[in-house]
């Protein structure tokens, strides 16, 4: 069932419920009014009969009472009616079916009276009023029904139009067309949904562009070493190039770089999977810093780099395995790009509920225009063009920090070095 039909039926059902309640209330009001009217008629009949019997009103063929009324003396002998002499006998016969009601004055029965109780609607004035009310009520119901149905149709179309637009936009996205923006119009809720779809479209478009660029960069980045290895292997196979150990070693290094790239690609794909979740645990801060130093002990000695640690907190919450991978990538870059005899510092500090892990080196700096690009896939700036690596290390770092709900900042200044700061919130 379409949204228009559902909205139409809901409005119709609400209208019927409203009309039913109104009819019930009018019926209760009518019964209450009729009961009060009967009470007033009874009091009026008693007062009229009492006035006649006490001499306050002369005997008349036209008593001041709107209904049929017969008055008797103390011996139940008919004295007068309000229907004239000609009809008195017939009226008296009609009233004999009712037990005359005694009229007591100062403890003494002074007479009796009898009246035929008529229905509220039998009164001419009341009947005219009821007929008018019924006509007005029916006209109001029909007019309200027409207005409600028109309002339901308008509201349904008002809601369904942007819903159809969003449905068409999602269908285009499903078909791979991400070129058209999703318009935001309608109610606040519809606008929120439209903006969410537009945000999704923008993200998908960005991811598509990034994947295309990534594939191109990957093909370009790997084409040269693959072609070089292929040419050397063909040259050695044809006897043109000597098959020396040094040549095999160089080719082996290139293959190892390609293997590292494949491993990094696999890890990045796993980290970017929506199913990936961190396994948060309490990590001893001092132990974490010492473990990081031990992993790079050989490289530190090889580069003659001074390595410092500064820990001001006892522990923090994180996925120890993933965070070790991220900090290792940063430390590896920091040591490799540090001048011989320079210094690398690992700091683990706390600020409120946040944990800050900073890596600083005194090596070559990163130009300001390249800082926003250092986390892009396969990006290798001029500062790292000639250094080994897959070009995915910092991309993996950023993804791991984001999985922790944190952020990473880069500061670099010529002559002072570079600092990578990871800010982790309390998990």
Count CB neighbours of 91 within 10 A. Answer: 20
Phi and psi at residue 330, to the nearest 5°: -65, -45
Give the pLDDT score at 381. Answer: 58
pLDDT at 288 over 90: yes
Supply 413's token pair: 């200044």
Give the pLDDT score at 72. Answer: 87
More confident residue, 92 or 230: 230
More confident residue, 345 or 250: 345
Q: At 291, is the pLDDT very low, low, confident or very high (cuts 50, 70, 90)?
A: very high
- pLDDT digits over 373-394, tens only? 888 876 665 545 455 556 788 8
Give the pLDDT score at 59. Answer: 44
- pLDDT digits over 70-127, tens only? 888 888 888 888 765 444 444 455 554 467 889 888 888 889 988 876 667 666 777 7
pTM above 0.85, yes or no: no
The mean pLDDT value of the chain amounts to 80
For residues 306 and 343, is the Cβ–Cβ distance under 8 A?
yes
Least confident of 29-38, 185-194, 279-288: 185-194
Identify the CA nearest to 81 among candidates 133, 119, 116: 116
Give the pLDDT score at 9. Answer: 78
Domain at 281-424, CATH class: alpha beta
Residue that has been written with the tokens 């991220």 in this structure: 326
Domain layout of the chain by residue ranges: 3-121, 188-271, 281-424
More confident residue, 414 or 228: 414
SS3 22: helix
Supply 246's token pair: 């040094």
C-alpha dihedral over 264, 270, 272, 275, to 10 degrees? -170
> 296 in the Ramachandran plot: left (φ > 0), alpha (ψ -120 to 50) or beta?
alpha
Give the pLDDT score at 389. Answer: 55
For residues 399 and 272, is the Cβ–Cβ distance under 8 A?
yes
Give the pLDDT score at 383. Answer: 47
Protein fold of 188-271:
Helix Hairpins (1.10.287)
Identify the CA nearest to 53 among candidates 116, 104, 115: 104
For residues 408 and 423, is the Cβ–Cβ distance under 8 A?
yes
- Which residues, listed in sequence order, are joined to residue 109 by a DSSP beta bridge? 104
Give the pLDDT score at 347. Answer: 96
pLDDT at 45 over 80: yes
For residues 72 and 111, is the Cβ–Cβ distance under 8 A?
yes
Least confident of 45-49, 68-72, 210-214, 304-308: 210-214
Phi and psi at residue 355, to the nearest 5°: -115, 130
For residues 312 and 354, is the Cβ–Cβ distance under 8 A?
no
- pLDDT digits over 10-40, tens only? 777 887 888 888 888 888 888 888 888 788 8
Give the pLDDT score at 214. Answer: 66
Residue that has been written with the tokens 């996925």 in this structure: 319
3-state secondary structure the chain: CCHHHHHHHHHHHHHHHHHHHHHHHHHHHHHHHHHHHHHHHHHHHHHHHHHHHCCCCCCCCCCCCCCCEEEECCCCCEEEECCCCCCHHHHHHHHCCCCCEEEEECCEEEEEEEECCCCHHHCHHHHHHHHHHHHHHHHHHHHHHHHHHHHHHHHHHHHHHHHHHHHHHHHHHHCCCCCCCCCCCCCHHHHHHHHHHHHHHHHHHHHHHHHHHHHHHHHHHHHHHHHHHHHHHHHHHHCCCCCCHHHHHHHHHHHHHHHHHHHHHHHHHHHCCCCCCCCCEEEEHHHHHHHHHHHCHHHHHHHCCEEEEEECCCEEEECHHHHHHHHHHHHHHHHHCCCCCCEEEEEEEEECCEEEEEEEECCCCCCCCCHHHCCCCCCCCHHHCCCCCCCCHHHHHHHHHHHCCCEEEEEEECCCEEEEEEEECCC
């Amino acid at each position: 069932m379409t949204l228009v039909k559902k909205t139409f039926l809901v409005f119709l059902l609400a209208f019927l419920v409203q009309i039913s309640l109104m009819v019930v209330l009018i019926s209760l009001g009518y019964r209450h009014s009729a009961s009060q009217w009967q009470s007033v008629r009874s009091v009026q009949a008693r007062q009229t009969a009492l006035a006649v019997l006490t001499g306050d009103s002369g005997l008349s063929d036209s008593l001041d009472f709107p209904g049929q009324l017969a008055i008797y003396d103390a011996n139940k002998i008919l004295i007068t009616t309000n229907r004239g002499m000609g009809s008195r006998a017939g009226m008296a016969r009609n009233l004999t079916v009712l037990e005359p009601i005694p009229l007591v004055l100062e403890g003494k029965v002074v007479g009796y009276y009898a009246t035929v109780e008529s229905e509220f609607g039998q009164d001419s004035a009341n009947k005219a009023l009821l007929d008018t009310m019924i006509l007005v009520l029916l006209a109001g119901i029909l007019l309200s029904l027409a207005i409600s149905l028109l309002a339901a149709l308008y509201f349904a179309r008002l809601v369904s139009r942007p819903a159809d637009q969003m449905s068409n936009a999602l269908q285009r996205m499903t078909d791979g067309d991400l070129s058209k923006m999703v318009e935001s119009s309608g109610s606040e809720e519809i606008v929120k949904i439209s903006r969410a779809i537009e945000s999704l479209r923008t993200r998908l478009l960005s991811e598509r562009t990034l994947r295309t660029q990534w594939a191109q960069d990957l093909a370009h980045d790997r084409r040269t070493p693959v072609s070089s290895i292929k040419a050397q292997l063909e040259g050695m196979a044809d006897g043109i190039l000597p098959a020396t150990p040094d040549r095999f070693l160089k080719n082996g290094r290139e293959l190892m770089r390609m293997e590292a790239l494949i491993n990094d690609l696999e890890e990045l794909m796993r980290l970017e999977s929506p199913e990936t979740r961190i396994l948060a645990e309490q990590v001893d801060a001092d132990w974490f810093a010492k473990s990081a130093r031990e992993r790079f002990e050989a490289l530190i000695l090889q580069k003659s780099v001074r390595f410092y640690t500064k820990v001001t907190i006892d522990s923090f919450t994180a996925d120890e395995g993933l965070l070790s991978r991220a900090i290792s990538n940063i430390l590896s870059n920091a040591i490799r790009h540090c001048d011989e005899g320079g210094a690398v510092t690992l700091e683990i500090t706390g600020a409120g509920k946040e944990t800050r892990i900073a890596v600083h080196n005194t090596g070559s700096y990163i130009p300001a225009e390249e800082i926003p690009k250092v986390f892009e896939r396969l990006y290798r700036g001029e500062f790292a063009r000639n250094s080994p690596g897959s070009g995915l290390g910092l991309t993996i770092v950023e993804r791991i920090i984001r999985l922790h709900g944190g952020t990473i900042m880069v500061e670099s200044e010529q002559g002072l070095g570079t600092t990578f700061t990871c800010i982790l919130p309390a998990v």
